[in-house]
Amino acid sequence: TRHLSTTFLMALPTRRLFPQLILTTTISSSCRIPFTEAFSIRLHSPSSQPRGVHLPPMHQSGDGSAESSGQSITGSIYEMDGSSVVVKLFTKEGCTLCDKVKDVLESIRDDQPHSLYAVDITDDDKHGWFSKYKYDIPVLHINDMYWTKHRLAVEDAIAGLQEARSGSFEARSGEPDAERLEHS
């Protein structure tokens, strides 16, 4: 089942492009799961506890492709008056890792003033961000410079925000670029 969870999680960001997802088990059987209904799957690996994955309902568009059921989540999450530090969270509907990063930033916003904005990479006008970040959300920028991806510890958040407030923050290396990797 380890192969199942890896295949499943890697394919999730592409479900908008592929209305059906094929899950392959370690014994090479497969099943087709259409994204027309919300459902949950319990994933198990030999070395870890089971964990649930919930997928939001998908709707078929006129051309037969799957579309997310929700509205854009682009916009202000919170704004801090007088703060010159702006954090952008590149995300999409249903991103649980994004929720965890947002919780970390919200927990320190009074001590480390900053504004937080969400950028929904699945919006029609965000195709460039989707092409770069589709496999790596959450991705964070500070003052329009790449900061980090996937997870954010409280200590790292505090350090990055302090650097930004002092004017010493510089873009980090390792910014994801799925499009470049797919075409190389």
- Region for residue 78 given its phi and psi (left: phi exceeds 0; alpha: psi -120 to 50; beta: otherwise): beta
Distance CA 123, CA 15 (A): 14
Binning pLDDT at 50, 70 and 90, where does residue 65 land?
very low
The whole-angstrom separation of Cα 73 and Cα 123 is: 9
Which pLDDT does position 88 carry in this prediction?
98
Non-local (6+) Cβ contacts of 119 within 8 A are: 74, 88, 89, 90, 91, 126, 129
Q: Is the pTM of this model over 0.85?
A: no
Reported as a pLDDT band with limits 50, 70 and 90, residue 70 is low
Strand, coil or helix: 87: strand
- How does pLDDT run across 85-102, given as a tens digit for each residue? 999 999 999 999 999 999
Helices (H), the chain: 2-11, 96-108, 127-133, 154-166, 178-182
Residue bearing the bigger pLDDT, 41 or 124: 124
Average pLDDT over residues 21-43: 40
